[in-house]
Amino acid sequence: MELSHDSFPKIDMQPRRKPWRILAITGSIALVIALLFVVAGRPPSNFVPGTIVTIPDGSSTRDAAVLLQQSHIVRSASLFEFLVNVVLSGRPVIAGEFSFDHAHGALQVARLVTGGGFGGTQVRITIPEGSSVVEVSAIMQKAIPTWDTNDFVAKAKPFEGFLFPDTYVVFREITPDEMIMILQDEFAKKTEPLQSEIAQSGRTELQIITMASILEKEAKNATEARTIAGILWKRYDAGKPLQVDAPFLYVLGKTSSQLTVADLQKDGPYNTYTRKGLPAGPIGNPGLATIEAALHPLASPYLFYLHDANGQVHYATTYAQHLQNKKKYLP
C-alpha cells in the first residue's frame, strides 16, 4: 500500500516562543511603563514652595493640566490628565486657588484639584489695612458664601485692632475661630520686633494700636501719618479733645461730609469731640506703617489739620488759622 505525503501529519517547523519568555517580555514592558509613571509622577525639580495656582471657572481637565505643568506643580500634563480621567474616574477639577507649600506627586495633586485631598480648595483673602472686624467678615463672606458673619463678628470684636490685615490663603472650610487665631498669630509675629519700643514709649500697646487705627483713616501715606500722629499725641498729652471724625465712621458708618452737628454733640465712648483722650478702643485693624507712625510721631508746630474735598491735608498752628482753612477748603 502506497502512502501519499498527505497521509502523514504535518509538522510545524517554526520555532515556538517559550511561555516564560513571553511573560518576561510582557513584564519588562510593564516595568518600563511603571518606571515612566513613577518618574513623570514625581514633583518637578524647579518647583517653588508657596506657589499659588488659580484654576478659573469652567476649566477643563486639560486646561488645569497645562496650567499645573506651566506652574511647575506637575512634570507632565498628559500624566495628570491620565490620573484624573482613569485613576480618579474622571472627577472634574474644581475652580479656585490652590496653595502648594510643599512638593507633591502628580496623583496627590490630581486628588487636590478634584477636591479629594488636603481638605478641599483654598481661597485668597486680602484684608486691607484699617479694616474693621465687620469689614473683615464681609470680605470673608464674599470669598466664602457659607461664612458665618454673625459668629465671626461676635467672637472677633474683643480683638479689634489686633487682627493683622494682610493677604491669606485659607481653606474654604475655615471656621471663624480658626480665622481669628490666624489673624492674631500674624499680628503677634509682625509686631514682635516693635514690642520693646512700645514698652519704652511711655504708652500702652492698646494706646498705640488705637492711635494707629485712627491714622489709617486720617492719613494717605506714611509721612502724613507721622505728622498727624504728632498733632494728635500733642493734643492728647495736653488734655485737649482729639476732634477726629474717623471714629464716627466706625460707630455710625458716616464720613466727615455726612456728619451733622447732632452727631458731633451726641456723647459716647467713641466721640472725640465731647470726650478727651483716645476713643474706647481701636476703630479698625492697622497695618505696620501706621503702627510705626503712632510709635514714631513727627514733631511739628501744628495743632490742627483738615482734609479738603480732594483729600489734601491742610495744617494750622492756631485755631484762627484752622478756621481760615475751613472757610477756604471746606464746602
Which domains, and CATH codes, for the chain? 40-113 (3.30.1490.480), 197-329 (no CATH)
Q: What's the mean per-residue pLDDT of the chain?
A: 86
What's the whole-number mean pLDDT along residues 172-201? Answer: 94
pLDDT at 121: 65
- Other beta carbons within 10 angstroms of residue 166's beta carbon come to 18
Burial of 78 from C-beta contacts in 10 A (0-12 / 13-18 / 19+): middle
Question: What's the Cα-to-Cα distance from 59 to each of 7, 92, 325, rounded to whole Å?
Answer: 71, 9, 57
- With a cut of 50, say whether residue 240 has pLDDT above it: yes
User: Range with the lowest mean pLDDT among 72-86, 106-120, 188-202?
Assistant: 106-120
Cα separation, 86 vs 154, whole angstroms:
47
Q: 270-297, pLDDT tens digit by residue?
A: 999 999 999 999 999 999 999 999 999 9
pLDDT at 64: 94
What's the whole-number mean pLDDT along residues 2-24? Answer: 49
Q: Which residues of the chain form beta strands (DSSP E)? A: 51-55, 96-100, 122-126, 167-171, 304-307, 313-316
What's the whole-number mean pLDDT along residues 64-78? Answer: 94
Cell numbers for 62:
486639560
- The answer to whether the beta carbons of residues 101 and 43 sit under 8 Å apart is no
**pLDDT range class, residue 155, cuts 50, 70, 90:** very high
pLDDT at 35: 46
Please give the angle made by the CA atoms of 229, 235 and 240, to the nearest 5 degrees: 150
- The answer to whether the beta carbons of residues 47 and 72 sit under 8 Å apart is yes
What's the whole-number mean pLDDT along residues 178-199? Answer: 96
pLDDT at 37: 52
- With a cut of 50, say whether residue 239 has pLDDT above it: yes
What's the whole-number mean pLDDT along residues 55-65? Answer: 91
